Amino acid sequence: MVETNDRPILRATRLARRFPVGEGVWALKRADLTIARGAFVLVTGPSGCGKTTLLNLLGGLDRPTRGDVEVGGVLFSKLNESGLARLRRREIGFVFQFFNLLADLTAAENVELPMRMVGLRKAEAAKRTTELLEAVGMSHRARHTPFELSGGEQQRVAVARALANQPSIVLADEPTGNLDSKNSAEIMELFKRFNRGTGQTFVIVSHAPGFADYADHVVHMKDGEITGIDHRGGGRG
Amino acid sequence: MAFLRMALRNVVRNWNRTGMIILGMLVASSLMTVTVALSSGYAQGAALSYRQMVGADILVYPNRFVFGGPDDPGDSWQWRLLGADQPTDALFFHPALRRGYLSPSEAPAAYFDADALPAELKAIEGVAEIVPARLMNAFLVAEDVGDGSPVRIPVTLRGRDLALDTTYWDIPAVVTIGRYFRPDQDGEWLAILNQQAFEMGPYPGERLVLDVPAVKGRMADGSPILDLADLKTFYFMVYGSYLLSLGQVRIENAVELQAADQGPVGPPPTWQVAIDEPEVWVPAATFDRIYEQVSGQPFRYTRQLCIAVDNMFLAKDISAALSEVLPDATVLTVPQEVALAGIRYRARLQSWDPFRVEVVRQYSSRPTLAVDLKSELSALAFVVAGLLIVANMYILVTQRRREIGVLKAVGAADRDILTLIVTEVVGYSLAGSLLGFLTVRLLTIASMFASHESMVEGALLTVKAAGMVIGLTVGTALVFGLLPALEAARTPSASLLRDS
């Protein structure tokens, strides 16, 4: 088992995922991983090694073929779909490579949506949205729709949305994959800042080698398996 | 609530999508509206003619035919307003209406008492020409050339008074084949046919088979109740045929003609009064005998006054005026609103005597051409409209799988996704179907205004039809919006994001 710390917020046990394509493809063959609360973890490896599959399983966006995931002591296998949705809503924030903001909503509404989903009152949600947008440097673009924002700006809004409900874990799948180096560095700095400031756990999938410097732990993957982990003791930032 | 608001916001904000979907819904519901109007409206229109026979005391009709009489002590008279030189659009779409009423009127003067007309009626503009008449629905039995099974062709059986024939009508001039009745043949089983309507036999000297509906009873006012389910067969010798062509017969003012001592008056006939309709004329006394045999009672005229007016808007005014001067009479504008007639008809059913109700029900349940049209044309149009809606909904949902995936990723449950989709679908389909219905309705009314024609089609678009169209549109949209939405909601978020 590869462990990053002995105070786990997230634990994956013998996690495997097989996709029914042709004779079946094992995108993830086996992953045992324990991630501590407040860790900043980078999952890296060559394209097609199963990073995104692992992240989807860790976040409950997909169900494993084998194994289980535990977040804050709750096993995913014990949850039905609505239970899993509730857990995602409160405990997990996602940042995607393609931003995935809702096109019909403004930046502020995108950030506000998860808060409204957990029943936060309009005024409270609006106040927190303003704070988050300020924190990611996007308050001046609050009323803009995604089409009116650059890639870097959209990703900042997506980060704010992921943090909306103050989740324990933020999972980011190639968050800088569509950004230039300057914007990429800014997004990583943003992650690191929140990680240090709030103690939230960040698990970031990326094959960009330079980002290892930000991480406390770097998980290496190859051919659907975790091949090793580097403990880096705090990382950059 | 968050998703409800989000759905409404999506509908309002995404004008391109909203516009396209509503346009699709509009086309679909317009198609449905027209279909409903044509099919159920046609059926209602056709049935209406028979309902009138046992229904209103006074009919106000756009453009042409008129009959009947209020407060008739029994057998005295019938009225008719002339001017039936061309079929109206109503008659074109609802030929059954035409069959249900008298056209030329040919009752002896003894039956007619113009002085019996209420003065108020005569004062109303439009009620001018009134003549007595005899009429009965009948079916000419013909052999089908295909499989040899007998076919019943609806015809109007007219009792023709020979004295009137010879006095007021220049019958020899209009009879082109065969001969015409002689006064001494009154009461014999003879018939002459409208040559215009019967291009092929029966010919003079052949036997004519007519099925005549039994008269099962009378209404409280004495009007006969025809039982179309019980047909009595009569055999006639075809004595001749007649052919009316334009410019041969003129009827200007039958009241004056008859009041003028039954002598030939006025200028030579110039109008065609018999339109191209199947009809069989028999001597007046023969008509009475037929009636007595099918009813078991002496002949009595139906008691309806029908008033022809230029357009439906005038008809409504006259109808209102008549209701005012004759508060005890039921005044019906045909086809003012078929729905209205239906409502009145149903309302009246509650108070009618059971036999009368049964006759109408029997007729109403009878399959007709309209019903056939309904089942086939409606099915076709509904399939097309349904496909439009299905395609619309399918696109609406499948184009948004990524959005659904994102929503699930940020914590939306299946129920939330369905709330979002259902709200949007209901919004789109309600707006689209309502607009579609209103579009057809407004276009119809506008064309009626422009043409001053009857409001048949417009009138047929009733609240019930609206409910049917909107209900079907929303229902179809819901089903075919929910299916892909359910599928998407149950698909893992990762798959939705990956696939899209």
Is B130 found in the same domain as B191?
yes
Residue in chain B lying closest to A145 (CA)? B13
Number of Cβ pairs < 8 A linking chain A and chain B: 72
Percent of chain B with pLDDT over 70: 41
Is B386 found in the same domain as B299?
no
Q: Which of B305, B329, B353 is the last residue of a domain?
A: B329
The Cα of B409 is separated from the nearest Cα of chain A by a number of Å equal to 6
User: Is residue B311 predicted with pLDDT exceeding 80?
Assistant: no
Is B399 found in the same domain as B256?
no
What pLDDT is recorded for position B499?
A: 73
Distance from C-alpha of B394 to C-alpha of B261, rounded to nearest angstrom: 77
Distance from C-alpha of B372 to C-alpha of B379, rounded to nearest angstrom: 11
User: Is residue B474 predicted with pLDDT exceeding 80?
Assistant: yes
Q: How many domains does chain B have?
A: 2
Q: What is the ipTM of this complex?
A: 0.89
**A23 at interface of B, judged by CB pairs closer than 8 A:** no
**A25 at interface of B, judged by CB pairs closer than 8 A:** no
Q: Which of B329, B357, B388 is the last residue of a domain?
A: B329
Q: Which of B39-43, B223-227, B360-364 has the lowest mean pLDDT?
A: B360-364
Helix or strand run (H / E) with residue B431? helix B414-451
Is B403 close to A103, i.e. CB distance below 8 A? Answer: yes
| Length reported for chain B | 500
Q: How far is CA A157 from CA A104, A111, A130, A186, B407, in A?
A: 14, 7, 11, 13, 15
Q: Per the domain annotation, does B170 fall within a domain?
A: yes
Residues of chain A contacting residue B497, judged by C-beta atoms under 8 Å apart: 61, 96, 100
**A94 at interface of B, judged by CB pairs closer than 8 A:** yes
Closest Cβ opposite residue A56 in set B14, B414, B494: B494
Distance from C-alpha of B364 to C-alpha of B373, rounded to nearest angstrom: 16
Is B427 found in the same domain as B390?
yes
Q: Per the domain annotation, does B355 fall within a domain?
A: no
Residues of chain A contacting residue B10, judged by C-beta atoms under 8 Å apart: 104
Residue in chain B lying closest to A57 (CA)? B494
pLDDT tens digits for B169-211? 444 444 444 455 666 777 888 887 776 666 566 777 788 888 8
More confident residue, B346 or B198: B198
Q: Are the CB atoms for B238 and B202 separated by under 8 Å?
A: yes
Is B12 found in the same domain as B101?
no
The Cα of A168 is separated from the nearest Cα of chain B by a number of Å equal to 14
Domain enclosing residue B208, as ranges: 57-329
Is B28 found in the same domain as B80?
no
Q: Are the CB atoms for B225 and B218 separated by under 8 Å?
A: yes
More confident residue, B209 or B217: B209
Closest Cβ opposite residue A94 in set B9, B409, B414: B409
Is B272 found in the same domain as B239?
yes
Model confidence band, residue B120 (pLDDT cutoffs 50, 70, 90): low
For the segment(s) A2-231, the CATH number from 3.90.930.60, 3.40.50.10540, 3.40.50.720, 3.40.50.300 is: 3.40.50.300
What pLDDT is recorded for position A92?
A: 93
Is B208 found in the same domain as B99?
yes
Is B95 found in the same domain as B16?
no
Is B66 found in the same domain as B14?
no
Taking the model in full, what pTM does it have?
A: 0.55
Q: Per the domain annotation, does B340 fall within a domain?
A: no
Q: Per the domain annotation, does B471 fall within a domain?
A: yes
User: Is residue B476 predicted with pLDDT exceeding 80?
Assistant: yes
pLDDT averaged over every residue in chain B:
61
Q: Per the domain annotation, does B492 fall within a domain?
A: yes
Residues of chain A contacting residue B416, judged by C-beta atoms under 8 Å apart: 85, 117
Is B98 found in the same domain as B159?
yes
Model confidence band, residue A1 (pLDDT cutoffs 50, 70, 90): very low
Distance from C-alpha of B291 to C-alpha of B77, rounded to nearest angstrom: 17
User: Is residue B251 predicted with pLDDT exceeding 90?
Assistant: no
Q: Per the domain annotation, does B111 fall within a domain?
A: yes
Is A117 close to B410, i.e. CB distance below 8 A? Answer: yes
Model confidence band, residue A67 (pLDDT cutoffs 50, 70, 90): very high
Is B492 close to A62, i.e. CB distance below 8 A? Answer: yes
Q: Which of A126-130, A161-165, B275-279 has the lowest mean pLDDT?
A: B275-279
Q: Which of B266, B297, B329 is the last residue of a domain?
A: B329
Q: Per the domain annotation, does B187 fall within a domain?
A: yes
Q: Are the CB atoms for B162 and B183 separated by under 8 Å?
A: yes
Is B494 close to A113, i.e. CB distance below 8 A? Answer: no
Model confidence band, residue B237 (pLDDT cutoffs 50, 70, 90): confident
Closest Cβ opposite residue A104 in set B9, B411, B495: B9
More confident residue, B329 or B453: B329
Residues of chain B contacting residue A165, judged by C-beta atoms under 8 Å apart: 411
Q: Per the domain annotation, does B341 fall within a domain?
A: no
**Rounded average pLDDT over B74-79:** 28
pLDDT tens digits for A154-182? 999 999 999 999 999 999 998 888 888 88
Q: What single-letter amino acid sits at B115?
A: D
Q: How far is CA B69 from CA A205, B78, B224, B404, B419, in A?
A: 92, 6, 14, 70, 61
Is B189 found in the same domain as B235?
yes
